[in-house]
Amino acid sequence: MPRYVALEWDSSEARVIVARTRSGQVDLEHALSVPLASSDARSSADLGAKIHDALKQVGATGLEAIVAVGRANIELRFLTVPPVPPDELPDLVRFQATRQFSQPIEEGLLDYAPLSSSGDPPTSVLAAAISPDLLKTIREVCEAAHIVPKHLVLRPFAADSLVTDRLEAKSCVITVDRLAEEVDLTVVLGGQAVFPRSVRVGNYGTAEDQAANIVGEMKRTIAAAQNQIAGHRVESVLILGREAEQRILAETIARELSLPVGFVDPLEAVNVPAAVSGQLPANISRFAPLLGALLDESRSRRHEIDFLSPRRRPAPVDQRRRYIIGGALAGTVALMLMMMAWWQLSSLESEIAALDKEVRQYDKQLKQAKPVVDRATAIDDFAAGQIPWLDEIRGLSLNLPPGDRVILDDLKANAEARNLVIVGGATTSQEVPQLELKLTDERHNVRGTGTSIVPQNEPYSASFRETITLVEPREATSTPRNAPAEKESSSPAPAKGRKS
């Protein structure tokens, strides 16, 4: 039975599982929670050494490893593709990704999960890219920990492997996987994860405060996933964890979202010997992604996203055997061909004439097709320069602060100026600089006109006007990510529909 290490980490802890897999079953040997101080994560060598010490104590060094990486560490894009044969889809996705991803695909790794139903050819995929720097760090950590990375999977997909097989064909649910500092929220449609999202919630405040924050992020996730679940509605919530550990969160979800809440105990899918059961960490629910990845491995099922084994065009069939057989047959009939040669010589002249005619026909067809190809190229060039306004508005909605802190009264898009102008109000003037920081990145410059206090507009009394300018890729490097925009000296225009 193969023996594996499943591994992931964040700034506070490393979670490690040692298990054996066999015929669709996972036999759990060890589940380790390795606390990390800030100094442990300063270098890959320090982090790997910390993990190696924990593995050495249980005799699990030198094994192959399945490493899980969080959604926040990679770039995701939904790509629309025409129906094509499966062997052509990897090249088509990579071609589409070179135009829509912010990082050059040649400098990173790309994998994708087809989004389809009923076995039909997919018309959309969820593509994910990981940067070479992050991949290098992961390899260095594994080397220092004396383990060999075999798979590098996306954490939300791995966790949802515990629930997808038990869902009905047309069901639509949202899963909640609560980790040390983050919460993975994934909308699952028909047993297939279609919209993963990770949010950082931290461990501050009371359990009720944390639950309220998670529910607020769930609302935003459900709203943002509407394009991927068109015609469907989220019907229930599945929490990956034990009911006793997540009782307050479940009660808050049921009260605020009016949705039925279920629980999936990650340990139900694996075999846990009695000797191991008494040594499990108290936070065993955080190990759901690792258990889901091991379950996929035991079933010889491809991980939905695997950066170390991405989907590629199938290798061409080895033709050597066919060539050998053909050569033997050619030798057998060589004498017959020699006897027939004099018959063929008499027909060569007419065959040459026919080939010349065929070449002239092909030349004519190529000349006729050239104008069509030129027009198609011009159309592609024009489409490449258009601004994807829906993507920009969607990105704006994901990055805005919650509605109880900021409200928008007006939004205008100017294609010629390549900008969006938003007008609204905030509960306090301090919200406006934070909004500008969240909206600024390497592709967007944010310029405000200052903040004015309009008491009549309580509770959103801090009026603002912001101009979000789309930066050309060659200019993006001049603007640091999340750098605050320079303020103009003029006063902001009053928000539309509100008193000034």
Write the CATH number for 459: 3.30.1360.100
308-314 long-range contacts, Cβ below 8 Å, gap at least 24?
308/109, 308/149, 308/150, 308/151, 308/152, 309/151, 310/90, 310/109, 310/110, 310/111, 310/112, 311/89, 311/90, 311/93, 311/111, 311/112, 312/90, 313/87, 313/88, 313/90, 313/91, 314/87
Structure tokens at 12: 């506070």
Which CATH number do you get for residue 39?
Answer: 3.30.420.40
Structure tokens at 271: 């075999």
Structure tokens at 229: 């679940």
Using the 3D structure, point to which of 107, 127, 147 is the last residue of a domain: 127
**In this structure, are 204 and 286 located in the same domain?**
yes
Closest CA to 194 of 126, 123, 280: 126
pLDDT for 106 equals 65
**In this structure, are 357 and 403 located in the same domain?**
no
**In this structure, are 50 and 165 located in the same domain?**
yes
**In this structure, are 148 and 180 located in the same domain?**
yes
**In this structure, are 18 and 155 located in the same domain?**
yes
Distance CA 21, CA 5 (A): 11
113-131: b (≥16 Cβ within 10 Å) or e: bbbeeeeeebebbbbbbbe
The residues with which 193 forms a beta bridge, in sequence order, are 188
Q: Which domain holds residue 350?
A: 319-377
| Residue 191 domain-assigned (yes or no) | yes
| Residue 256 domain-assigned (yes or no) | yes
With a cut of 50, list the residues of the chain below it in pLDDT.
474-497, 500
Cβ 66 vs Cβ 297: under 8 Å: yes
Cβ 373 vs Cβ 456: under 8 Å: no
**In this structure, are 69 and 88 located in the same domain?**
no
Cis peptide before 459 (omega within 30 of 0): yes
Structure tokens at 109: 């790794």
Please give the helix or strand (H or E) that residue 380 lies within, else none: helix 320-384
234-263: b (≥16 Cβ within 10 Å) or e: beebbbbbeeebbeebbebbeeebebebeb
pLDDT for 120 equals 66
Query: For the chain, how are helix, strand and coil distributed in percent, rounded to 5?
Result: 40, 25, 35
| Residue 15 domain-assigned (yes or no) | yes
pLDDT for 382 equals 66
| Residue 500 domain-assigned (yes or no) | no
**In this structure, are 278 and 323 located in the same domain?**
no
**In this structure, are 194 and 285 located in the same domain?**
yes
**In this structure, are 24 and 161 located in the same domain?**
yes
pLDDT for 467 equals 94
Using the 3D structure, point to which of 331, 348, 377 is the last residue of a domain: 377
| Residue 489 domain-assigned (yes or no) | no
| Residue 383 domain-assigned (yes or no) | no
Domain count for the chain: 4
| Residue 372 domain-assigned (yes or no) | yes
pLDDT digits (tens, 9 = 90+) for 458-475: 899 999 999 999 987 544
**In this structure, are 165 and 255 located in the same domain?**
yes
Structure tokens at 275: 């000797």
| Residue 252 domain-assigned (yes or no) | yes
**In this structure, are 250 and 395 located in the same domain?**
no
| pTM for this predicted structure | 0.62
**In this structure, are 366 and 412 located in the same domain?**
no
163-189: b (≥16 Cβ within 10 Å) or e: bbeebeeeebbbbbbbbbebbbbbbbb
